[in-house]
Chain A
Amino acid sequence: MEFNFTVTGGDFISAGHASSEVKKVLQKLNVDPKITRRIVVALYEAEVNIVAHAYSGTIKASIDTEKITLVLDDEGPGIPSIEQAMQEGFSTASEKVREMGFGAGMGLPNMSKNADELNITSDVNKGTRVEIITWLNNKAKA
């Protein structure tokens, strides 16, 4: 099964749409609610990062019997140091974004806590690719 979404930078009104659709699909597939929750937390943070930090992006969700693979590709400023970005509390979010309660620098840490596998690659001034993989049954969890 495959689902595709587009994300527009700065569009906080629609932020979370892909996460909500993916959650509905996982619920229909009777995935363990605890696993669904981890997937949703990681995807939401990745989705919001495109809205808050990039210009535009796409999300591809591929689901098979074993796992869900989420690939988020954006066009944007990229991340100069992924290691630094992964640190809890590090954020380059604008004042406006912080006032909304985003920009606490907890998004990437939330993603790594909740994903079974998290791969991030980024080209400065081009964009960022985030891949989140989560196994759908406890036994297969890496």
Chain B
Amino acid sequence: MTVNDIITKLNLSVLGGEQGLKKEISGAYTCDLLSDVMGNVDDGNIWITLQTHKNVMAIASLRDLSAVILVKGLQPDADMLEKANEEGIPVLSTNEQAFEISGKLFQLIHS
């Protein structure tokens, strides 16, 4: 499953990092604590979070994540988007909260 596949199925909007839409997804991780993500996420995971600053993309890049989903319609800071485009890691947006979107993504990945 690629990032593109879940965008249509979960009705996400693409805010940046379009070059990375063909990345394969290995799973997902829902968390807002940066050290927990840094230490425990797996390569190729999608990261679901409410954090909207540039450090999110630094971690996504350092840990080779496939994309970031921002919940509750939150908008990324300008320098977060800039970094997403630079790194080619998609930043996606949903109006749903973390539990809802995580549940749907879980079903999609595990069905």
Q: What is A's interface to B at a CB cutoff of 8 Å?
A: 12-13, 15-16, 19-20, 23, 33, 37, 40-41, 44-45, 48, 100-102, 104, 106-107, 109-110, 113-114
Contacts and interface: CB of A to CB of B under 8 A. Distances in A.
Contact of B34 (A20, A101, A113): A101
27 contacts: A12-B53, A12-B55, A13-B54, A15-B58, A16-B59, A16-B62, A20-B62, A33-B43, A37-B43, A40-B63, A41-B38, A41-B63, A44-B38, A44-B59, A45-B35, A48-B34, A100-B51, A100-B55, A101-B33, A101-B34, A102-B35, A102-B55, A104-B36, A106-B35, A106-B39, A107-B35, A110-B38
Q: DSSP majority for the B interface?
A: helix
A101 B62 contact: no
Interface of B: 32-36, 38-39, 43, 49, 51, 53-55, 58-59, 61-63, 79
Contacts of B43: 33, 37
Q: Is the interface of A mostly helix, strand, loop or mixed?
A: helix
A44 B79 contact: no
A107 B34 CA distance: 9
